[in-house]
Amino acid sequence: MHPQLRLQGAQVPRRLQRGARQAQARLHPLPQATPQVVVIDPEVCLNFKRGKNPDGSPVVSDKCKKTCVEACGEKNAIDFTQKDELKEIKVGTIIVCTGFKTFDAGRVPAYGYGTYKNVYTALEIERLVNASGPTGGEVILREGKNPDGSPKTPKSIGIIHCVGSRDKKTNIWCSRVCCMYSMKLAHLLKEHTDAELYNFYIDMRTPGKGYEEFYNKLLEEGTHFIRGRVGEVTDWAMTPEEEGKLVIRVEDTLAGVVRRIPVDMVVLATGLEPQADAGDVRRLFNMSCGGDGWFLERHPKLAPVNTFTDGVFLAGCCQGPKDIPDTVAQAGAAAAEATVLIDRGYVEQEPNTAFILDQECSGCKSCIPLCPYTAILFDEERKKAYINEALCKGCGTCVGACPSSSIVQNLFEDSEIFSEIEGVLSYD
């Protein structure tokens, strides 16, 4: 096998692997990354642990045997002198698709994530059932061994929906994708382990082509669907059958009874949240955010990929939780919108932009922070402000604010407004 390919799979960053061993210097930045190439992890590679040169580049040490270079042979693909680069690229339009962050399951203490080792998040299970994952696709428990010392496979699994979704204490929105991915995991886990599977849901949300059919398929497979939000996950056994297991306490709201269900493995279907630095990105592109932190589209129905800033478009989960087909559709629309601008090669303007009377501007800069579209710039040489007409939306904020009345708005000049008032107030 090719040495590079042998590395793939097991060596993914610790943040994705959660506790699985990882100390290789070369790794794939992501499992199933495209393109499939390995990169050097400077945190681990001995060559990069020797400090830095005065210019910031890493000291390449000769102490490492460089077996990787040897193995690569005449292909000569390993280059220790490569550095991270920051590039400035001039573009005409921008599509913001910065994505989402998964909810931190530790924020719901009642489900014991971080306390009980056999409580997993859905992403961890995703890695566990993956053929290129840390266990090679074998579903084994983090805690508990068989009598012969081999790791245990779960006999019963509970999947808890809506962790960090539809909850005023965490995130109030429905994350939309969890019902479907929970069912996918239930299907895969059933296939891998033949365990008894329980899904605990508040409402099954399966709108979409073929989704309801998939739900039906799971019902046929014998997966249990229990309508009720789980109260708690505990290891406190009350009956002999609960010994050594995790117990899920839940009301089966359709049957109207409270149940205790012992399981070997608990999977938390964590929801979607805006990225932690979404606020910075928003300010950078001068976009708006809803109260929940997702980027705001210009109009929910008529301009779903546009932002309030011309030439900046939205695609994917940075605008709100959505699944892959919806993301692809929205990204296609955003690309088309961007292409329209690029293809035309010019921008159509509203005629009501503002301009600055150069002789009268005192250079006080009071208009600059007021402009919601960052259209006003300052000429340091001449000590005068000037307006970028391509960005100006004609809101008139600067016109009203200018202390020397040196900003004038097209179509709304003082004389025009006064004669308009005169016309409105005159009788005949």
Q: Which residues bind another protein (CB under 8 A)?
A: 110, 162, 166-169, 202-203, 227-232, 249-253, 256-258
In the complex, least distance from residue 190 CB atom to another protein, rounded to whole angstroms:
25
Beta strands in 164-256 (DSSP E): 196-201, 224-227, 232-234, 246-252
In the complex, least distance from residue 289 CB atom to another protein, rounded to whole angstroms:
23
Cα separation, 355 vs 412, whole angstroms = 11
Toward another protein, which CB reaches closer, 127 or 176? Answer: 176
Residue of 192, 179, 197, 177 whose CA lies nearest to 129 = 192
Cα–Cα distances (Å) from 397 to 109, 223, 406, in that order, read: 48, 60, 13
| Residue linked to tokens 């269900």 | 261
Helix (H) or strand (E) holding 192: helix 178-193
Toward another protein, which CB reaches closer, 48 or 200? Answer: 200
Toward another protein, which CB reaches closer, 8 or 199? Answer: 199
Complete DSSP assignment for 321-370: ---HHHHHHHHHHHHHHHHHHHHH-S----S--EEE-TTT-----TTGGG
In the complex, least distance from residue 259 CB atom to another protein, rounded to whole angstroms:
9
Toward another protein, which CB reaches closer, 90 or 168? Answer: 168
Cα–Cα distances (Å) from 387 to 11, 264, 352, in that order, read: 52, 65, 13
In the complex, least distance from residue 251 CB atom to another protein, rounded to whole angstroms:
4
Toward another protein, which CB reaches closer, 252 or 326? Answer: 252
Toward another protein, which CB reaches closer, 266 or 407? Answer: 266
| Residue linked to tokens 């599509």 | 95
In the complex, least distance from residue 215 CB atom to another protein, rounded to whole angstroms:
19
Toward another protein, which CB reaches closer, 142 or 249? Answer: 249
Helix 178-193 and helix 211-221: axis angle, to 10°? 30
Please, is 419 exposed, middle or buried when counting C-beta atoms within 10 Å of its C-beta (0-12, 13-18, 19+)? Answer: exposed
In the complex, least distance from residue 105 CB atom to another protein, rounded to whole angstroms:
15
In the complex, least distance from residue 168 CB atom to another protein, rounded to whole angstroms:
5
In the complex, least distance from residue 181 CB atom to another protein, rounded to whole angstroms:
20
Token code pair at residue 16: 């994705």
∠ CA 338-340-341 to the nearest 5 degrees? 70
Cα separation, 139 vs 117, whole angstroms = 14
Toward another protein, which CB reaches closer, 169 or 209? Answer: 169
